[in-house]
Amino acid sequence: MKQIKLYIVAISLVVCASLTSCVKDLNVTPIDPNIALPEDVLNSEDAYFQVLAKCYQGLACSSTNGPDGSPDIDGVDGGYGQYMRALFNLNTVTTDEATVCWNDGTLRHLHQMRWTSTNEFNLSMYFRIYYQISLCNEFIRRGSASEFANGNNMKLWLGEARALRALSYYHAIDMYGNVPFATEDQSVGSTGPDQIMRADLYKWLVDECKDILTIIPEKAPEYGRASGEMVKMILAKLYLNSMVYTDGAVNNFAECAQICREIMTAHPTLEPNYLNLFGADNDKFDEIIFAVVSEGTNTRSYGSTNYLILASLNGDYVAWKDKMGAVEGWGGLTVTSAFIDKFDKKDARYTFTDCSEFDPKGEYVHTYVVNDDNTFLSGYCTTKWRNIKSDGTPGNKTNSTVDTDYPVFRAADAYLMFAEATLRNGGNAADAVSAVNVVRKRAGLASLASVTLDDILDERGRELYWENFRRSDLIRFGKYVGSDYVWEWKGGVAEGTSVDAKFKLFPIPANDINSNSKLTQNAGY
């Protein structure tokens, strides 16, 4: 494959970015591999579009050379270091929604909530975030100074790059708090970027999202690309967590409710079949506002939805592989009973199984409770994510990868954010109930006459599990650390126990602290 490396000075590391997209809706033609300087190749709008394509591709793949070959970031594993897999590990495996039984390095420390600043899975997420930010910064810097800067195409692409950067900074503020900060206007230099306080990053992100909304269209030019609706979802997430991100200084619940109302107005109905949103042709459904695109032939990765699907099944279950549209199973991810207890089995979103239906001999039946976090047979599995199309046929199975896109934002989330923000702001309770009931109706559940905040937290869990919001939700509701709510293996014991408040944030990796004297570690690490 022909490709070119564009060398970019990143935040705290040097990254090299291929200009070849592996995303199906952003396929581009590689540039002459014999030319190495960006000044030589960035001489057309097509060339710039290829750089933008890499900004998208970085969310879907770890490398342009297969699932883990020649990874983008030196020292970050191309398998578990993929962006969406790392996001899942830190935001879902660290909660009641998922356990992982593999004994890979410090992986099980995540669910046990006893990670340290040297945890390699935390490091993978951190540097993936900043790799993405550096790519976007470089595109914005060069695109803004190019001869094409005033053209309609470049104006749109700059807006998209800023939206993708905002997404990664949203992940940074949520997981790490006070973080390194640089935009296209800063020269990073050899000592690394300055650290921005969480509340200041919150203000910058809110202002940035508002400005992006003035230049980016409400609907994406094609599926899988950024849009005004995507930016509104980022803004709604920021507003909903305003009290967390500013240590109680700012309350933007009213603003959250307003922007969610705009999204709800644009999506007055939800896709009737919940599971269609997590299948191999989920790009067909308007409820998905932004997704990381996966395509079995070109998007080769050990992360994203490949991870969710293949790690949720045992390769010995032929019938199960057929149901999931997979050619192999990794046997790693299960769900805690504390989380499954929140479901009525009549709920259309109940996708949990002990696997007995796939194992007539009864050799591999799973226990309901995660008694042993070192075995795949401990804890039920979920079939929410599948490489099966809405008509029941399988998606592409090439290279053991799947066609199922990873929804990052869905309209149903906006309905639930609206309900929560409305209650928190003392708004019309009937409006909150109505929004929750739209989501419940799709799930086949009876409407509620009233809702509490705890009702909404549980509904968010049932609707959005394995979509990487659970950790943030539990923190916002005061149920993540401490002993108010425990689940299997929280704190490293089978029955679950209280954990220190420091775990509301992840540590900045020790090697970045050591290489940048401007950074201060999060408290407790």
**Residues 253-266: tens digit of each pLDDT:** 999 999 999 999 99
Quote the pTM value: 0.92
**pLDDT (0 to 100) of residue 481:** 97
CA distance 36 to 41: 8
Query: What Å distances lie between residue 85 and 183, 275, 364, CA to CA?
Result: 25, 21, 26
Decide: 96 and 470 in contact? Cβ < 8 Å: yes
List own/partner pairs for 202-208 with CB under 8 A and 24 or more apart: 202/173, 202/238, 202/242, 202/245, 202/246, 202/250, 205/166, 205/169, 205/170, 205/173, 205/234, 205/238, 206/235, 206/238, 206/239, 206/252, 208/162, 208/166
Q: Between these two residues, 29 and 200, which has the higher pLDDT value? A: 200
Q: How many CB atoms lie within 10 A of CB 396?
A: 18
Decide: 333 and 355 in contact? Cβ < 8 Å: no
β-strands 381-382, 352-353 pairing: antiparallel
Closest CA to 431 of 286, 260, 232: 260
**Residues 468-504: tens digit of each pLDDT:** 999 999 999 999 999 999 999 999 999 999 999 999 9
**pLDDT (0 to 100) of residue 483:** 94
Residue 72: band (very low, low, confident or very high) from pLDDT cuts 50, 70, 90: low
CA distance 273 to 107: 34
Tokens of 20: 């070849």
Q: Between these two residues, 442 and 58, which has the higher pLDDT value? A: 442
Task: Please report the DSSP string for 95-116 in residue order.
Answer: STT-EE---STTTHHHHHT---
Tokens of 436: 């929750």
**pLDDT (0 to 100) of residue 66:** 55
pLDDT for 79 beyond 80: no
**pLDDT (0 to 100) of residue 364:** 86
pLDDT for 95 beyond 90: yes
**pLDDT (0 to 100) of residue 316:** 79
Residue 76: band (very low, low, confident or very high) from pLDDT cuts 50, 70, 90: low
**pLDDT (0 to 100) of residue 110:** 98
pLDDT for 410 beyond 70: yes
**Residues 240-290: tens digit of each pLDDT:** 999 999 999 999 999 999 999 999 999 999 999 999 999 999 999 999 999
Query: What Å distances lie between residue 353 and 168, 211, 318, 502, 515, CA to CA?
Result: 34, 46, 15, 34, 47
Q: pLDDT exceeding 90 applies to what percent of the chain?
A: 76
DSSP state of 160: H
Phi, psi of 394 (to 5 degrees): -75, 155
Task: Please report the DSSP string for 266-315 in residue order.
Answer: H--S--S-GGGGGSTTGGG-TTEEEEE---TTT---SSHHHHHHHTTSBT
**Residues 355-374: tens digit of each pLDDT:** 998 887 888 899 999 999 99
Q: Angle at the Cα of 10 (from 9 to 15), degrees rounded to 5? A: 85
| End-to-end CA separation in angstroms for the chain | 44
pLDDT for 14 beyond 80: no
Q: Angle at the Cα of 377 (from 371 to 380), degrees rounded to 5? A: 80
